[in-house]
Amino acid sequence: MTSAKSNPGPLMDYMKRALTLAKGVVGSTSPNPPVGAVLVKGDRVIGEGATQPPGGSHAEVVALRQAGDAAKGATLYVTLEPHNFQGRTSPCTQAIIAAGVAEVHIATLDPNPRVAGQGKAQLEAAGIRVVMAAPDETDEATELIEAHSHWITTDLPLVVVKYAMTLDGKIATVTGDSRWITGEEARAQVHTLRLACDAILVGINTAVRDNPQLTARDAADKPLPKQPLRVVVDTQGNLPLTARMLKEPGKTLVAVANASPVKKAALIQARAEVLEVPAQNGSVDLRSLLQQLGKRQVTSVLVEGGGTLLSSLFALDLVDKVYTYIAPCIVGGREAPTPVEGAGIPSLASAVTLERVRSERVGNDILIVGYPRKSTWQKG
């Protein structure tokens, strides 16, 4: 939604404000990217906006409508290159040109092959000065739209792996106790991650062992109005019909490869959607599953376990981003589970290495975020 017009003074960083607006709508715009826009005249903000849910106005149009006739001769700050083609909405480039905007600052170009610099070129051809943002703002804007970028260029959702572990690398004790490894601040941040993704993915073992809700919830532990799609990799259709997730708001999709007709019918009766996926080595073909999710306009998937599923995704080079929460506690135990299991790798030389790594303190825990370097994992 938009905010009231303001007079923040000449020291305001207008692109930072546009980025803040874009962050405010993450999770509500898919399959469109979250975008923020600020329209400025002199040192006064005359309009601002963010992308509305699918079918609604784009950020630039929201800001232009708020500004009205004052947009003539103004400067627009926008986090993503304005689109130049007719889709669900009319081209933003045409709206900007028609409004008489004099200058446009862009944080990052649109990776969509239908745009990819053509929006910028169209603005320049109309006599509008176009300025690209500073590198730090470009990096921030690029990360904001990374799920959309990945999906629009590969037809696959961005696969984000998230797990919490102890200082000695365990996700539970030897008895299976895992509540709670991390503190309240980290758990609250996970709900923000869930809200930002289109789907949450778990394996059947995690679904049975933990019986999770897999919902995005607020500070009062209430489910939020919008819920990601819950997806269970369940080759034989063994999800218990009493599973908590089947009673939660939102939809649950059970991906099966060789489930019996009786089990599939029972799952459907229990409010689940059953998706038939080809088998690969006796299990659900994960690449095929992701392809089918991509066709459903699922642009991002948050994988929350378990260790076998994560191992398979890494082995197939399907992991695009990793969130690791590390709690300052030690539990030990040879049989205590770890985040990534499976056969493992034969040597450190073939280990998955993260790039563009950053870390931050989240309460008493540490969060490490990075992007796997592809094609390094080799099965042991």
Residues recognised as catalytic: 60
Strands 300-303 and 365-372: what pairing?
unpaired
Largest Cα–Cα separation, the chain: 69
For residue 12, the number of C-alpha atoms closer than 13 Å in the C-beta half-sphere is 20
CA dist., res. 128 & res. 289, Å (int):
44
Residue 203 CB coordination number (10 Å): 23
Q: Which residues contact 110 (CB under 8 A, 6 or more apart)?
A: 80, 81, 83, 116, 119
| CB 164 within 8 Å of CB 182 | yes
Evaluate whether 25 touches 62 at the Cβ level (below 8 Å): no
Joined tokens for residue 47:
């309009």
CA angle (61 as vertex; 58, 65 as ends), nearest 5 = 140
Both tokens of residue 119?
A: 């929006």
Going by DSSP bridges, is the β-strand pair 279-280/354-362 parallel, antiparallel, or unpaired? Answer: unpaired
Helix (H, G, I), strand (E, B) or coil at 294: helix
